[in-house]
Amino acid sequence: MSWPWRLAGWALFVLAGPALLALAGQVPFLTSGRLVFLAITALAAVGLCLIMGFAGQVSLGHAAFYAVGAYASGILTAGYGVPPIVALLAGMVLAGAAAAGVARAVFRVSGHFLAMATLAFGLILYYSLGHFRTVTGGNAGRGGIPKLAIGSWEATTDTRMFLLCWALVVLGVLVARNVVDSRTGRALRATGASEVAAGCCGVNVVRAKVGVFVLGALYAAVAGSLYAHYVTYIAPEEFGLLKSIQFLVVATVGGLTSVWGGPVGAVVLVLLTEASREAIPLFVEGATGPYELTIYGLVLVVVLLLFNRGIAGGIAHAWRARGRGGGGDPEPLAEDATGRPVPREVAP
């Protein structure tokens, strides 16, 4: 894509934040409070897209890094009076160290060990949060967490908090794009296509994967920190397996192999679940309770049937196909003569 298109894409993305706020003022089912959760989910999902789409590893424990960020912020600010920004950075350091430990231990062996290891890490952390009451507040949770403040600026309203979170989503996507479009990104895409050939080109496959896994965990930590400061109360139930799976669905629906996958998936899923909360009781009398999971499952199936790269991946693919069909590229030279299956696509 040429630069005017790219610039237009970024402008659209930045402006989507205020546009969502405007929408929340117009429709009954959406509040600016829900938008804060949308942005937090989007941020965590950008990190998960890096881990799953680029390091090629299934993570079933993304909520664990989210928890590390949230509890670091909650405990340090409410318990020790540390400024929120410092606590947020501390959460990133802790989550990064935990991710490096998990990744280093399992990337040496190939296969599905990482999925199992992340699952185990998530479950251990989840039960620990309930168990170590003096530090975490146990299952009752921990309250009294201050609102996020940067110097004298305080995120006292939902609108302020949402705009801050959206700015961080934009920044997060920018950083992800920078990594994908670099030596590390090329090394990871190469590894996805042929691990042997990548190694013989000097790519340290383990180091590249550990690096991206740690980076992805940092996104979750920041998201967790934002959550703690927004809700001002944290308890283990927010950080269980269900949350990890929610992140997984958001990232997959948005598009694992696209840096835009996180925000796209979060917008689509949050808007649909919120709208359905309003709409379903109109059709099914007496229906109450959480529809979220049903909607998540449904959207996941529909999206994967329509575009196997997720929504953002599907759009990127269609855009390139349009470019080719419109004569933008010269004629294809020939077929792949080896008849090898073309490796899974990774859209920048």
Partner 1 sequence: MTLLRTVGLTKRFGGVTAVDDLSIELGDVGITALIGPNGAGKTTAFNLLCGVLPPSSGTVEFRGRDVTGQPPHRIAVLGMARTFQNLELFGDMSVRDNVMVGAGAHLRGGIVSAALRLPRHRSDERAARERSDAVLERLGLGDVADRPASDLPYGLQRRVELARALATDPALLLLDEPMAGLSGGEAAEVAGAVRAIGVPTLIVEHHVETVMALSDRVLVLNFGRLLADGTPAEVRADPAVVEAYLGAEDAA
> Residue 335 CB, nearest distance to partner 1 (Å)?
8
Q: Given the rule CB under 8 A, which of 72-80, 93-101, 124-132, 207-215 is the region that contacts partner 1?
A: 207-215
Q: Given the rule CB under 8 A, which of 81-89, 135-143, 298-306, 332-340 is the region that contacts partner 1?
A: 332-340
Q: Among candidates 75, 66, 60, 72, which has minimal Cα distance to 123?
A: 60
> Residue 2 CB, nearest distance to partner 1 (Å)?
13
154 lies in the site for partner 1, by CB under 8 A: no
Sole binder of partner 1 in the list 156, 178, 294, 308 (CB under 8 A): 178
> Residue 288 CB, nearest distance to partner 1 (Å)?
45
Q: Among candidates 344, 275, 333, 335, which has minimal Cα distance to 310?
A: 344
Question: For residues 252 and 269, is the Cβ–Cβ distance under 8 A?
Answer: no
Q: Among candidates 136, 114, 160, which has minimal Cα distance to 238?
A: 136
Question: For residues 90 and 157, is the Cβ–Cβ distance under 8 A?
Answer: no
Sole binder of partner 1 in the list 74, 137, 185, 263 (CB under 8 A): 185
Question: For residues 78 and 143, is the Cβ–Cβ distance under 8 A?
Answer: yes
Q: Given the rule CB under 8 A, which of 119-127, 157-165, 241-249, 329-337 is the region that contacts partner 1?
A: 329-337
How big is the site for partner 1, counted in residues (CB under 8 A)? 40
> Residue 87 CB, nearest distance to partner 1 (Å)?
22
Q: Among candidates 184, 188, 182, which has minimal Cα distance to 54?
A: 188
* Residue whose CB is less far from partner 1, 208 or 271: 208
> Residue 307 CB, nearest distance to partner 1 (Å)?
16
201 lies in the site for partner 1, by CB under 8 A: yes
Q: Given the rule CB under 8 A, which of 90-98, 143-151, 198-206, 228-236 is the region that contacts partner 1?
A: 198-206
> Residue 190 CB, nearest distance to partner 1 (Å)?
5
Q: Where are the alpha helices (DSSP H) in the chain?
A: 3-26, 32-49, 62-74, 80, 84-106, 113-131, 133-136, 158-180, 183-193, 195-200, 205-231, 241-254, 261-283, 292-306, 310-325
Q: Given the rule CB under 8 A, which of 18-26, 190-198, 272-280, 289-297 is the region that contacts partner 1?
A: 190-198
* Residue whose CB is less far from partner 1, 4 or 330: 330
Q: What angle do CA 226, 216, 91 make, to 5 degrees?
A: 40
337 lies in the site for partner 1, by CB under 8 A: yes
138 lies in the site for partner 1, by CB under 8 A: no
189 lies in the site for partner 1, by CB under 8 A: yes
Report the C-alpha gap between 283 and 276 in whole angstroms.
10
Q: Which two tokens stand for residue 143?
A: 């309250």
Q: What angle do CA 243, 249, 252 make, to 5 degrees?
A: 140
336 lies in the site for partner 1, by CB under 8 A: yes
- Tokens 């410092």 map to which residue? 86
Report the C-alpha gap between 320 and 74 in whole angstroms.
45
Tell me which residues in 208-247 interact with partner 1 (CB under 8 A).
208, 211-212, 215
Contact positions vs partner 1 (CB under 8 A):
175, 178-179, 182-187, 189-190, 193-194, 196-205, 207-208, 211-212, 215, 329, 332-334, 336-338, 340, 342-343, 345-346
